[in-house]
Structure 1
Amino acid sequence: MENRRNFVKKLSVATGALSLVPVLTPVKARSLSEAGKLINDLSPAEAARNEEYWHTIQQAYTVSPNIINLNNGGVSPQPLIVQDAVDRYNRMSNEAPSYFMWRTLDAGRESLRMKLADLAGCDPEELAINRNATEALGTVILGLNLKKGDEVVLTKQDYPNMIQAWKQREMREGIKLNWVNLELPIENDEIIVQKFKEAFTPRTKVVMITHMINWTGQILPVKKISKIARERGIAVLVDGAHTFAHLDYKIPDLDCDYYGTSLHKWLSAPFGSGMLYVKKDKIKDLWPLLPNQNPLIADIRKFEVLGTRSFPIEQAIGHAVNFQNAIGNKRKEERLRYLKNYWAEKVVHLPRVKLNTSLKPEFSCAIANFSIEGMEPSEMDTILFNKYKIHTSAIVWENIKGVRVTPHVYTPLKDLDRLVDAITFMAKK
């Protein structure tokens, strides 16, 4: 009891709760530290192939040993340290919710904002913490000052929630949507840039760019499109749901005005956590999704007026950031790309098999999509799970028809070997 009282006392006087809960138990910390020595002298590409190191990373997760989860593109599991943090913060909150949630854990948001800003490479005053990419991007889509006749450029391959948000504005306010239709995969940036350029008109006010198309893993040349948009005075909104903590970049590298992402995907943060970036000079004129006392204030916090939120989920994000930093952005990107290439290169030449994703590093990373002539995606998805216990995602969407495969850092090569066996079986079926 005395130890418990001391713990609670320390939490109540702290400016933020994040630093008070250990990132790892001593045993796990030593394990990761020892594993890190295996790759200290290796390049990220070389480290991506060091199975002894990645075996240690795999042990940090609690994924099912009976199901091979290759649908991390939907939502990723959390390492145990993140799960434990959520449990600790939740138990603390339940001792006296209004006290520990609003007087203790709420104070941790500012230190978390700084931690995320460091990872994102931007000013903390440009980051708002929310619940997912849909909320972040929806805040921008519904909060921009647009009038009847103003035009917005987007692609038919964008995420449905974002498309529906734009269509709602089209229905209610009479803005015009100009569509780019992509035939994927594309292995030439200039083809993609030209398609966007052709969609721009003198009335275009906004362009939305999905950094990585979630259906196939296609990476779009955001910065090149942004450059042309800026020359025309067009605001740039980036959907980074599938690239944050997946690819090695900083948000300012994209030269965008607005950016939204989910943290429960590639960062492996708690379910229901996300982030909104708004360039500092754009904050004042963007209306918040949920109204507050001064909706036109130039303070990023106006986008965080959510009412009662899950403080345990929010505060545990910091532990996911620590875990990400322990691996390293570039090292993680190279491992994820290696995992994709490991299985995709083994099946791409099989009869009837078509890879709907480029294998070139500048155009893809972890996510890939394949199809088999004569088979429906739902049929392949069913065989993969029923016969091989491999969980994937069947995709039929705007010029895209196949099965999406999405490994993560915890995926061992033997699981991908089973996937190759399964695809080989179906191709010969």
Structure 2
Amino acid sequence: MNRRAVLQGAVAGAAMLPATALRPAPLDGPIEGRALAGDEAHWARIAAQYDVTDAVIQLENGNWGMMSRPVLAAYQDAVARVNRDTSFYARRGMGADMRSVVDRLAAFLGVDQDEIVLTRNATEALKALIGGYNRIKPGQAALYADLDYGSMQASLEASMARRGARTIRIALPEPASHQNVIDAYAEAFENHPEIRLVLLTHISHRTGLQLPVREVAALARARGIDVIVDAAHSLGQVDFDIAGLGADFVGLNLHKWMGAPLGVGAAYIRKGRVSAIDPDIADENPGSGGISSRVHTGTVDYAASLTLPAALDFQAMIGATARAARLKALRDRWVGKVRGLPGIEVLTPDDPRMHGGITSFRLSGRTSEAENRALAATLLDRFGIFTVHRTGLASGACVRVTPALFNAMADVDALAAALREIADGDIVTRSR
């Protein structure tokens, strides 16, 4: 299956279009953005700005995102400059340039510059927030759920043990609904008054479930519980603003859905709350009190960070509402064709408040890691569709589907057709 052939007619001549030609008009309003979601000619022009492999239909885009051609060109220029000028640039001008990158990101996020610090990824940001959180006391507890990222679960376990506290783990309801997820957290808060910190993953990397973070954060705040939000998969996948989440601490990723080079993330600490996070143990000026003292990374890929404005420019050209609507439309297309098929279990709810582009599924009753690894292998080997199996759910393993902006509706139609054939014939190779 050659996905390029699907797009060939639509993208002819569009590969080198300037960014201004990709968008016929400002289309970031809610109504216009949603209306644009099904315009295949428009999205083919966007897709032509990505160099996508011909080898497979790529539906596993959650690991990291692809840079568009303009962003890749900017990154290559930045790599060349950093490599050429080395310390002559680093000690004379790069500091100001990096500060302007932070200023630009803060403006994009709608927060103050002193509320944001760059990291290499969301994991590093969240490790700093979880490991540095100092408001927990012996005998108190932190809460997390089965759908939270494994490294963040481990971080909470280690941090609480170090501080003489404990962790409480809950399994989120399945099937999930907006209300029963809220109720699950409310019940945990009620049953465990010792909870003083909760980790909320805005969009789960396991199933794509989007939590009602604002509502749960409000419940937590009323009980004096602080909230750390893992927004690794939500920034750029769904349209939201940080302030609206109602959390004081957020870890962000910029090389997944925002299309920056690998190695760019950020931590957000709301103004006035930085003292709740200890300075990094390597920071030489822990008394400075600023957010930058909470993360100490050392030498990083400066070219990657310097490319961030180009990535933000490209995403601004697409528009947040249009981008989110397109990813949902791709997801809804294949889910609408397979939900209800005998033998197929779609795990992510259809409520638009509860998902972005990611959705996971399994064959009914097939919950083991081996069975879902085999299912992903069958999709690849027999149908040329690349997905990934996920584990860690209380209910068992699954297969995750993650479309990107370069995917066409024909790509997800091919997935739906493959799943129908698999469900009809039960052709999964169990031994893989």
Is TM-score (shorter-chain normalized) higher than 0.5? yes
Paired residue for 1:379? Answer: 374
Paired residue for 1:330? Answer: 321
Paired residue for 1:21? Answer: none
TM-score by length of 2: 0.88
Identify unmatched segments of 5+ residues in structure 2: 1-13, 426-432
Structure 1 segments of 4+ aligned residues over 6 angstroms from their partners: none
User: How do 1:337-376 residues align onto structure 2 when only pairs under 5 Å count?
Assistant: 337-373=328-364, 375=366, 376=371
Is residue 15–residue 45 contact of structure 2 (8 Å, CA) maintained in 1?
no
Paired residue for 1:405? Answer: 401
Aligned with 1:394 (options 380, 385, 389): 389
For the pair 1:234 / 2:230, whether they are aligned, the reply is: no
Identify unmatched segments of 5+ residues in structure 1: 1-26
For the pair 1:180 / 2:176, whether they are aligned, the reply is: no
Cα deviation 1:257-291 (Å, max 9, x = unaligned): 10001111111111121010001111134113342
TM-score by length of 1: 0.89
Q: CA deviation at 1:46?
A: 0.9
CA-atom RMSD in angstroms: 1.9
Is residue 122–residue 232 contact of structure 2 (8 Å, CA) maintained in 1?
yes
Task: Out of 189-198 and 248-257, give the one that drifted further.
Answer: 189-198
Q: Aligned to 1:281, what secondary structure does the other structure show? A: coil
Paired residue for 1:89? Answer: 78
How many Å separate the matches in 2 of 1:290 and 1:104? Answer: 27
Paired residue for 1:282? Answer: 273
Is residue 123–residue 152 contact of structure 2 (8 Å, CA) maintained in 1?
yes
Amino acid at match of 2:182: V
For the pair 1:61 / 2:50, whether they are aligned, the reply is: yes
Paired residue for 1:14? Answer: none
Aligned with 2:418 (options 422, 426, 429): 422
Q: Aligned to 1:148, what secondary structure does the other structure show? A: coil
Q: CA deviation at 1:374?
A: 5.8
How many Å separate the matches in 1 of 2:373 and 2:17? Answer: 44
How many Å separate the matches in 2 of 1:103 and 1:399? Answer: 55
Is residue 85–residue 312 contact of structure 1 (8 Å, CA) maintained in 2?
no
Percent of aligned positions with the same letter in both sequences? 29
How many Å separate the matches in 2 of 1:156 and 1:74? Answer: 19
User: How do 1:128-167 residues align onto structure 2 when only pairs under 5 Å count?
Assistant: 128-145=117-134, 146-167=136-157
Q: CA deviation at 1:38?
A: 6.4
Is residue 138–residue 289 contact of structure 1 (8 Å, CA) maintained in 2?
no
Amino acid at match of 1:172: R
How many Å separate the matches in 2 of 1:109 and 1:29? Answer: 29
Amino acid at match of 1:229: A
User: How do 1:160-309 residues align onto structure 2 when only pairs under 5 Å count?
Assistant: 160-187=150-177, 189-200=178-189, 201-309=192-300
Structure-2 change in CA distance of 1:298 and 1:62 (3 Å): same
How many Å separate the matches in 2 of 1:405 and 1:426? Answer: 16
For the pair 1:312 / 2:303, whether they are aligned, the reply is: yes
Instruction: Report the count of equivalent residues.
Output: 402
Cα deviation 1:224-283 (Å, max 9, x = unaligned): 111111112111110101101111111000110100011111111111210100011111
